[in-house]
Structure 1
Amino acid sequence: MTDEMHQPLLQSMAAATAARGHSLLGDFAAATAALMRSAELAQDSQMALIVADARWAAGTVALAQHRYRDALIEYTHMTVHPTRSLWAIADRTEAAVRAGRPDDLRKNVEEAAVAAALYRSPFLSALVARSRALLADDDAAESYFAEALALGALSESPLEVARTQLLFGEWLRRQKRRKDACAQLTAALDQFETVGAQAFIERATQELRAAGQVSARPTAPSTAVQQLTPQELQVAQLAAAGLSNREIADRVYLSHRTVSTHLYKVFPKLGISSRGQLRHALGGATSD
C-alpha cells in the first residue's frame, strides 16, 4: 500500500519495524536487509521514529550475537525518540549489564517505573521489573523476576514473558538451582518454539544443556551433519545464525580465510549451494 501511495518515509518506518520483528525471530539476514531498505527509503531523513526503530532492530541483532557493547550503543541512540526508548528499557538494560555497564541504565529504569505507574501499564511494569532483576544483587533478583512474570501474565505478551523466563532460568542456573532453572527454561523454550524465535530457541536449548538437561528436544543429527568436523560444524552454525566470515573469525579465533575454507568444505558435505540453506541443512544439530 505504501508503495502505491509513494510515501517513502512510511515505507521506511514499516521496514524498520519489520527489521525488529526479524531480529526477534533470529532471522538476522532478513533483519539486515530490512534495515538497509529502511535507510534507502529514508533518504537521509533523521525522523526520530525511524531512527529509533532502526536502532532498536540493530541493537537486538547485536544483543543476540553477543556483541553487547554494539547493542548498548545502538540502544543508546534510541533516545532520539523518548517513547520508543522507554519501551525498549528491558533490552537496553540487558545490553548494559552484559556489556559490564549496569550503572548506565539505573536512572533510566527508575524513570521507566514512573511512566509505567502513570500509564498503569502491566506490560511496561513487567519490563521494569525484569530490568530491576538484571540490575539487582542476588538477594533481590528473584523477587523482581517473580514480579516480572506475574505482571507479564497480565500483559498479553507471551514472547516477553518467555524472555523473562529465559533470563530467570539463566540466573537460577548460576545459583546452582538446576531443577528450578530447567522449569523456567523449558517454559521459555516452548513459547520460543511456538513463535519460531530461532535465536532464543538456541539460547534456551544451550542453557538447558548447561543446567544438566541433556537434550531439551532430542534430535538425531543427519548423516550429512555427522560428516562435519567439530570446527566445521561450529563455523556452519555461526554462519547459519547470520554472522559474516569476519565476525565468525573473531568469535572462534580463526582467520577469515580459514572460515571461508571451512564453509567451502561444508556446502558439498551438506548437499547445499548457498549460505541461506545452512539453517535447514543443519536441522537440530547444536554445539556444546
Structure 2
Amino acid sequence: MAHARHAVQVADRAGGAALHRHPRIWLGGALTAVDRFAEAEEVIAVGRHEADELGTAWSQPLWAYYNASLATARGRLDDAVAEAEAGIRIAQQLSAWQLCLPLLGMLTRVAVARAQMPVAREHLRAMQRLLDEGITSAPEDVGWSFAVFQAADGQPEAALATLEEIHHALPGRLLLFANDPGAAADLVRVALRAKEPAVAGAAVDAARALAELNPAVPSLPAAAAHAEGLLKRDAVALRDAVDRYRATPRTLARISAMEDLAVVEHDAGHRSGAVELLEDAVAEATTCGARRAVERMERRLRRFGVRSRVKSSPGGAPATPLGGLTATELAITRMVAQGMSNREIAEKRGCSPHTVDSHLRNIFQKVGVNSRVALTNALHGK
C-alpha cells in the first residue's frame, strides 16, 4: 500500500505519461485488501473521473474489476454484477480479451452466490473459449472461479483438483487469501469434503501466516480463525471469527462464519444460540441477494425444527413489476423518472456511466420494458 501511495504522489506531481498509468487503480485494490473500503471507493471514484478526462479507455475494465471486487466483499452483489458486465463490454470493444477473464470469473462467483448456476455455467464457457484461444490470467481468477462452481455443483474432488496450482503454492503465494480472506475457509471446506485434511491444514497455516504478516488488517485474523475453527470444529475459534468479522465491512465472509458457528453450536446442544445465529445470517444474506446461502441456511433451520422468519412474497414472485428490483436498482429507477441522464446518475452514485447502463439493462429486463419512458410509467403505476 505504501508503494501504491507513493506511485500516486509521483504521478500527480509529474503528470503526463506518469498520470496515464493510473496508479490509483492499484491503490484502490490495496485499500480494499486491507479493509479500508470507504477510502478505496473514494480513490476509485477519483481515478475513474481522471481516466474520463484523460480519455484512457484501457483503464476502464480495471476500474470496473476493482469496484466489483469491493462491491462483492461488501455484499452488494447487484452492484458487482453491473460493474463487471460494464467492464466486459468495454474490454470487448477494446479487444482487451485478457481483462475479460477476471471479470468473467467475478461474474461466475457472484452467480454461484446468487444460486444462478446456469448463468455461472455460461460465464465459465465464455472463460473457457478465451482460454482455448491462448488468453491467460492468474489462477486466482480462473482456477478459483471454476472450483467455486464445481464445489457448489457437488464436485469437491474436481474442485480440489482444479485448485492444485493454488494450494500447492501455499504458503509462498497468498494472493487468493489477500484478495478474498473468506476464501481460506472455503478452501478448507472443499478439502474436507474431498477428504484431503492435509490440504485443509495447509490452508489454515497459510491464512494464519498472512494474518501474522498483517496484524493491522482486521479481516485476516478473522479469516484465519474461521478456517481453523472450521477444520477443528472449534466453537471458540469460530466465535472469535464472527466477532472479528463484525468489525470489518466484509459482509459475505461474516455470514459464512456465522453459519459455520451455528452448525457447531447446534451439534454441541446449544440450539437456541444456533437458531439465532442462522436467522441473523439469513436476514443479512437475503439483503445481499446471496440466495444460495439463504437456501442452504433455511434448510438447516428446518432441520433444527424451525422456519426462517425472513418473509418472501408468495411463490417467490414479486408482487409488482418493480417488486423484483434491488435497493440500488430501485434508486436508479427513481433517478431515471426524475429525468436524470446516465452520467448524472453516475456522478450522484459515485460510479461510471457504463455501470449505470448495466444496471438499466438489468432493470429493463426485470420490469419488462425497453425504454426510460416505459420504466418511468411503471414506477408511477401507469
TM-score by length of structure 1 reads 0.68
User: Aligned residues, how many?
Assistant: 218
| Residue number among 129, 148, 157 corresponding to 2:241 in the alignment | 148
CA 1:173 to 1:62, structure 2 compared with 1: closer, same or farther past 3 Å?
A: farther
2:190 equivalent to 1:95: yes
Cα distance between partner residues in 2 of 1:22 and 1:124: 25
Equivalent positions of 1:224-243 (< 5 A) are none
2:230 equivalent to 1:134: yes
Partner of 1:30: 119
2:146 equivalent to 1:55: no
Q: Which moved more, 1:61-70 or 1:161-170?
A: 61-70
Cα distance between partner residues in 2 of 1:201 and 1:93: 21
CA contact (8 A) 2:98 2:135 kept: no
CA 1:27 to 1:169, structure 2 compared with 1: closer, same or farther past 3 Å?
A: same
1:163-209, Cα deviation, whole Å (9 max, x unpaired): 11111112222223211110111111011101111111110001111
2:156 equivalent to 1:65: no
2:205 equivalent to 1:110: yes
Partner of 1:15: 104
2:136 equivalent to 1:39: no
Cα distance between partner residues in 2 of 1:106 and 1:118: 18
Partner of 1:256: none
Cα distance between partner residues in 2 of 1:47 and 1:33: 18
Q: Which secondary structure state, in structure 1, belongs to the residue aligned with residue 174 of structure 2? A: helix
Partner of 1:283: none
TM-score by length of structure 2 reads 0.52
Cα distance between partner residues in 1 of 2:231 and 2:98: 37
**Offset at residue 126 of structure 1 (A):** 1.5
Partner of 2:347: none
CA contact (8 A) 1:52 1:77 kept: no
* Structure 1 unmatched ranges of 5 or more: 223-288
Q: What do you get for the CA RMSD once the two structures are aligned?
A: 2.3
Q: Which secondary structure state, in structure 2, belongs to the residue aligned with residue 104 of structure 1? A: helix
Cα distance between partner residues in 2 of 1:219 and 1:4: 40
CA 1:221 to 1:90, structure 2 compared with 1: closer, same or farther past 3 Å?
A: same
Partner of 2:214: 119
Cα distance between partner residues in 1 of 2:132 and 2:206: 33
* Structure 2 unmatched ranges of 5 or more: 1-89, 316-382
Q: Which secondary structure state, in structure 2, belongs to the residue aligned with residue 154 of structure 1? A: coil
Cα distance between partner residues in 1 of 2:141 and 2:120: 12
| Residue number among 68, 85, 102 corresponding to 2:176 in the alignment | 85
**Offset at residue 48 of structure 1 (A):** 4.7
Q: Which moved more, 1:15-24 or 1:159-168?
A: 15-24
Cα distance between partner residues in 1 of 2:184 and 2:313: 39
Cα distance between partner residues in 1 of 2:218 and 2:133: 37
**Offset at residue 220 of structure 1 (A):** 9.0
CA contact (8 A) 1:19 1:54 kept: no
**Offset at residue 43 of structure 1 (A):** 4.2
Cα distance between partner residues in 2 of 1:174 and 1:182: 12
1:218-273, Cα deviation, whole Å (9 max, x unpaired): 67975xxxxxxxxxxxxxxxxxxxxxxxxxxxxxxxxxxxxxxxxxxxxxxxxxxx
Equivalent positions of 1:242-261 (< 5 A) are none
CA contact (8 A) 1:18 1:31 kept: yes
CA 1:203 to 1:212, structure 2 compared with 1: closer, same or farther past 3 Å?
A: same
**Offset at residue 118 of structure 1 (A):** 1.1
**Offset at residue 66 of structure 1 (A):** 3.2
CA 1:36 to 1:220, structure 2 compared with 1: closer, same or farther past 3 Å?
A: closer
Cα distance between partner residues in 2 of 1:214 and 1:6: 50
* Aligned AA (1:47): T
* Aligned AA (1:63): A
Larger radius of gyration: 2
Q: Which secondary structure state, in structure 2, belongs to the residue aligned with residue 52 of structure 1? A: coil
Q: Percent identity?
A: 20
2:254 equivalent to 1:168: no
Q: Which moved more, 1:161-170 or 1:112-121?
A: 112-121
CA contact (8 A) 2:98 2:137 kept: no
